Structure formats: structure tokens, C-alpha cells
């Protein structure tokens, strides 16, 4: 089966430093695929290469089987790749619903929204409510984003990414800086995303990784150390030794 998203022999250098070292990886359709590894392993760089924010020095990126290596981030987004950044910048003085409606309008093409008239506006509001529900924000649709907790702001970021109706969603450390309660809410949200979306998740919290992922890749110095089912990764001597404490 053609992977939803695939990197083939990707190379990225920053000066003398090879950050992505002939890296090949496939993300199967509908997978919950976690990418783990130590700080500086090249995880975020891989996302930048996949999303088109960075151009590789060599290798290809294929999205739904199509070579998008030469395509920029916007074209890849239109082909179905969405990402949530460390910061996704919702509009802080607008409500949750207004943010989602704006994201939906942009995703649908702002021009079209105007000539489609009120019927379309109503469907935008409905769609925004649906997304708010799917990211656990159904009770705070009318709340100004600035007044949301940090955890809820990050839930909204995923909602904004979902507004583009992605086929593939890249999440870079969605639980970073969260309290245990916020982390649990985020874990629940990601676990509940529709299976039609391929989710690729960079995450340091191993409870979140093993709670969500059906496939795990360990990156180390820009290379794939290991890819496999969670049990295989958990049982791997090298992973236990390096990333989970030797006693683990
Ligand atoms: N724009 C850049 N210019 C130069 N070096 C960079 C650049 N971006 C990243 N690097 C370096 O590339 C390496 C990999 O960085 P990257 O951010 O991809 O790691 P990471 O696995 O996401 O780490 P973390 O877990 O800390 O987020 C690091 O050594 C980093 O300093
Ligand atoms: Mg990173």
C-alpha cells in the first residue's frame, strides 16, 4: 500500500552538520505514528522537510504517492498535509468559534465564502462547532482565546489544523509544557481523531507515545534507529538503555 506520507533518502545539512542523514520513512494511511528520540535528533527538521518549510539537500518527499519535493508548504497543505507548530498563533482577541470559522474560510478559499452567501456562513459556523467538539472545546466556543488555559489554546491549534480537512496531520510535541491534566486531555483528543487522518506525532512523554501510537520510529543523529510496533520498541535493548532508563 502506498504510504500516506513518505520520505526517501532525505538529506539535510546545516553547514558541516548533517541533521537528516539519508533518512527513509513511510507513514501508513490512518497510522498513529510517533517519532521519538533525544534532543537534537532531527525530529523537527524532519517535519520541516515533510511540510516543505525546509528544502532537502537530497532525497524526496511523497504525499499520497505524489512527489512533492519541489512543492512549497502551501501547495503541500492543499494536497492534504496539515501541521500544528510549537506555536500556531490563533488570533488571541477572537473567540474560539471565530478562529475556527476564519480557518475554515481560509481553507475553503475566502473568495468563495463571499459569493456563497449566508447559507455558507451558517455551514461554516456549524462546521466550526463540530471541530470545536472534536478538540474538546465545545463548551468554550464563545470564549476569547486569550482567556483560555494554555492546554486549551493548544487544543485549539489542533482544531485550526483540522479546519483544512487534512489527510495527514503532523504534531510537534503537542503536550510540551502541559500539566498532567492538560496532557491527559490532549492524549484523549489525539486518540479520538478520525482514522481517516494519518497522525505523525513527535513526543517526549512516553505515556502519551505508548498510549496513542500504533507505530514508533526512533530517530538518532538524523537516522532511523528503529521502526516498529510499540511492543517491539519498548522491548528494544538500545531504546531501553538510551531513552527509558536502563532499569525500565
Ligand atoms: N536552522 C538551523 N540552522 C542550523 N542548525 C539547525 C537548524 N535547525 C536545527 N538545527 C540543528 O539541527 C539539529 C536537529 O535539530 P531539531 O530541531 O530537528 O531536533 P529535534 O529532534 O527536534 O530536537 P528537540 O527534541 O530538542 O526538539 C540540532 O543540532 C539543531 O541545533
Ligand atoms: Mg524539536
**Interatomic CA distance for residues 114 and 223, integer angstroms:** 48
For range 132-154, the mean pLDDT: 96
Does residue 44 line the site of ligand 1, with CB under 6 A? yes
User: Does residue 233 contact residue 226 with C-beta atoms inside 8 Å?
Assistant: yes
Write down the H helix ranges in 67-165: 73-78, 96-108, 110-134, 150-162
Helix (H) or strand (E) holding 56: none
User: Does residue 51 contact residue 73 with C-beta atoms inside 8 Å?
Assistant: yes
Does residue 12 line the site of ligand 1, with CB under 6 A? no
- For ligand 2, the distance from its centroid to the CA atom of residue 45, given in whole angstroms, is 7
CA 13 to chain centre: 23
User: Does residue 68 contact residue 52 with C-beta atoms inside 8 Å?
Assistant: yes
pLDDT above 90 covers a percentage of the chain that reads 78
Ligand 1 atom at minimum distance from 15 CA? 4
What's the confidence (pLDDT) of residue 119?
A: 58
- Mean pLDDT, the chain, integer: 90
Listed residue (50, 69, 88) closest to 168, CA to CA: 50
Does residue 39 line the site of ligand 1, with CB under 6 A? yes
- For ligand 2, the distance from its centroid to the CA atom of residue 107, given in whole angstroms, is 26
Does residue 40 line the site of ligand 1, with CB under 6 A? yes
Given the candidates 3.40.50.300, 3.40.50.10680, 3.40.50.620, 3.30.450.20, the CATH classification of the domain at 1-80+166-248 is 3.40.50.300
Query: pLDDT of 6-17, one tens digit each?
Result: 999 999 999 999
For range 41-61, the mean pLDDT: 97
Q: Which three cell numbers stand for residue 173?
A: 510535541
Q: Where are the domains of the chain?
A: 1-80+166-248, 88-165
Amino acid at each position: 500500500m502506498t504510504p500516506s506520507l513518505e520520505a526517501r533518502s532525505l538529506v539535510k545539512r546545516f553547514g558541516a552538520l548533517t541533521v537528516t542523514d539519508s533518512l527513509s520513512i513511510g507513514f501508513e494511511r490512518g497510522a498513529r505514528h510517533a517519532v521519538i528520540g533525544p534532543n537534537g535528533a532531527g525530529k523537527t527538521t524532519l517535519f520541516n522537510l515533510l511540510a516543505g518549510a525546509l528544502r532537502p539537500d537530497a532525497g524526496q518527499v511523497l504525499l499520497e504517492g505524489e512527489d512533492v519535493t519541489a512543492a512549497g508548504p502551501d501547495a503541500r497543505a492543499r494536497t492534504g498535509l496539515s501541521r500544528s507548530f510549537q506555536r500556531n498563533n490563533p488570533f488571541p482577541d477572537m473567540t474560539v468559534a471565530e478562529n475556527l470559522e476564519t480557518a475554515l474560510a481560509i481553507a475553503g478559499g475566502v473568495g468563495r465564502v463571499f459569493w456563497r452567501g449566508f447559507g455558507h456562513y451558517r455551514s461554516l459556523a456549524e462546521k466550526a462547532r463540530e471541530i470545536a467538539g472534536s478538540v474538546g472545546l465545545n463548551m468554550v466556543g464563545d470564549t476569547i482565546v486569550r482567556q483560555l488555559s494554555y492546554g486549551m489554546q493548544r487544543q485549539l491549534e489542533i482544531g485550526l489544523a483540522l479546519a483544512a480537512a487534512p489527510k495527514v496531520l503532523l504534531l510537534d510535541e503537542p503536550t510540551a509544557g502541559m500539566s498532567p491534566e492538560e496532557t491527559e486531555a490532549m492524549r484523549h483528543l489525539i486518540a479520538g481523531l478520525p482514522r481517516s487522518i494519518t497522525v505523525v506525532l513527535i513526543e517526549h512523554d512516553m505515556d502519551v507515545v505508548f498510549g496513542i501510537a500504533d507505530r514508533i520510529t526512533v530517530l538518532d543523529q538524523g537516522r532511523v534507529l528503529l521502526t516498529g510496533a510499540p511492543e517491539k520498541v519498548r522491548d528494544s535493548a538500545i531504546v531501553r538503555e538510551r531513552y527509558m532508563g536502563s532499569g525500565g
